[in-house]
Amino acid sequence: MERERKAEAVISALDAAEATSPVEAVESVTRVLGLALDATSVSFLVADLSGRGLVRLAHVPLSAADQDNSRKTSLRAGERRDVEELATVLPFDGGPEEQVVRTQNVQVLAPDSEFGVPGHPDQWRVLSPVTERGEVIGLLEFVLPAEPDLEAIGDMAQLAHLLAFVVIANRRHTDLYEWGQRTRPLSLSAEIQHRLLPGPQTCEAGAFTLAGWLEPAAVIAGDTFDFNVARDVLHVSLTDAMGHGVAAALSATLCVGSLRNTRNVGATLLEQVAAANLALAEHMAGSGLEDFVTGLVGRLDLRTGSMQLVNAGHVSPYLARGSDVTIVELPVDLPFGLFADTTYRCTDLTLQPGDRLVLLTDGMLERNAAGLDLAQAVGDTRRLHPREAVRALADLVLDGTGDVLADDATVLCIDWLGSHGRERSTVHGADRPIRTDRHLADG
């Protein structure tokens, strides 16, 4: 695509995003991108919240007479409808869609391939990741009347990256995209817990890459993770509120809210944890409940790799350095909320470029998954991107428990790369270079 035509496509896409409502913005932008690339069709598939599939959203106009009966319409497997909105779940099955998400590689699928366009033997498919700072938002599917050349494939990848920002901007204003992503209903406690998590669950930032994952128990048990990047500092926390259900979710809310509040006013790490402890202790005294929260709270100096960690009655983290995986021995202080006058201690940990630090909750140590050697699992997933490593670790726990967790299982993985201030070497939203495969990669 010529430079002038590409610029026109970008301007038209941004105009379309602003001209329509937030509900229609992504659909309008994908239409503009399809026209710019002479595509037969183009569609956006959003990442499922479970991390184990994609969801195709569609708008199905209904007449006024049909709207009352729309919920009674028979749906196929994997489909959900909310009046005019239709969501179809596409579970990962090892096919090209999953490979695009896992590897961040563009897939180009020939008409005569196993994954061509059904019923259209002359159409090509291009699947491009929609990603921002390593956070998988979904993928963009182009259907083309002719084989694309390398320049066209690169244009599609760039425009898919543009779509990532359109989705991020517009989903702040509507529940549509999140409705599509929710392949299982959330209880009230799960809703509260979900809102506590940071918006993105992955962040690639030059000096580090991190990713978090929360695998919820059947009855929500109050786990959270959080992170925030300042100019020269990375703040992280992983917490586990006692109990289950709404009570645990509310304790988690108080703890995370306090940590964020004091962080925003420039408090030191010890001041942050002291304030969180006091807030929970006062709440416990006022409510008569015995609520407490365990946690790891850390502050990483991005200029030096020096990290301060506080352990409030929590599971010790793991450090992968070279081929070795060790438990980071930290002095263990009392959980937050037990006593208002608890004193907390910081431990300094100096990270070296190439290190991986893994924080987790005790749900990862499920008694039904006692055969899981976590240190070995951390080592075995060492070569995976943190985004994939945290999900792989959660999957191992699920496998060991028969997919039934008695407690939330949560992981936060931080890769320390060093060289703070350097620019990232990226391709369309991800650190890993995109490869333009003509056929499905083996893995």
8 Å CB contact between 354 and 322: yes
Which token pair is 75?
Answer: 């749906």
Please tell me the distance from the alpha carbon of residue 174 to that of residue 365, in angstroms, as a whole number: 37
Mean pLDDT of all residues in 328-341: 96
Identify residue 118 by its one-letter amino acid code: P
Q: pLDDT digit string (tens) for 141-174?
A: 999 999 999 999 999 999 999 999 999 999 999 9
Tokens coding 256: 């995370």
What mean pLDDT comes out for the span 194-219?
90
Burial 259-285 (b: 16+ CB within 10 A, else e): bbebbeeeeebbebbbbbbbbbbebbe
Rounded to the nearest 10°, the torsion over CA 186, 192, 193, 199 is 100
Residue 389 has pLDDT above 70, yes or no: yes
CA distance between the termini of the chain? 31
354 in Cβ contact with 208 (< 8 Å): no
Q: Is the pLDDT of residue 196 over 50?
A: yes
Task: State mean pLDDT over 94-117.
Answer: 91
Lowest mean pLDDT among 30-44, 59-73, 337-351, 415-429: 59-73
Q: Which amino acid is at 424?
A: R
Question: What pLDDT score does 65 carry?
Answer: 47
For residues 339 and 186, the model is more confident at 339
Contact in structure between 223 and 410 (CB atoms under 8 Å)? yes
Helices then strands, each counted (H, E), the chain: 11, 19
3-state SS class at 16: helix
d(CA 12, CA 411): 41
Average pLDDT score over residue span 119-146:
92
Mode of pairing for the β-strands spanning 306-312 and 332-333: parallel
Q: For residue range 277-333, what is the model confidence (pLDDT) as tens digits?
A: 999 999 988 877 778 999 999 999 999 999 999 999 999 999 999 999 999 999 999
* Beta-bridge partner residues of 348: 308
Q: Is the pLDDT of residue 31 over 50?
A: yes
**Which of these ranges, 3-17, 257-271, 407-421, has the smallest mean pLDDT?**
3-17
Backbone angles phi, psi at 73, to 5 degrees: -60, 130
How many C-beta neighbours within 10 Å does residue 243 have?
18
Which of 291, 108, 372, 423 lies closest to 116, judged by CA?
108
Please give the pLDDT value at position 216. 83
pLDDT score, position 380: 95
Mean pLDDT of the chain: 88
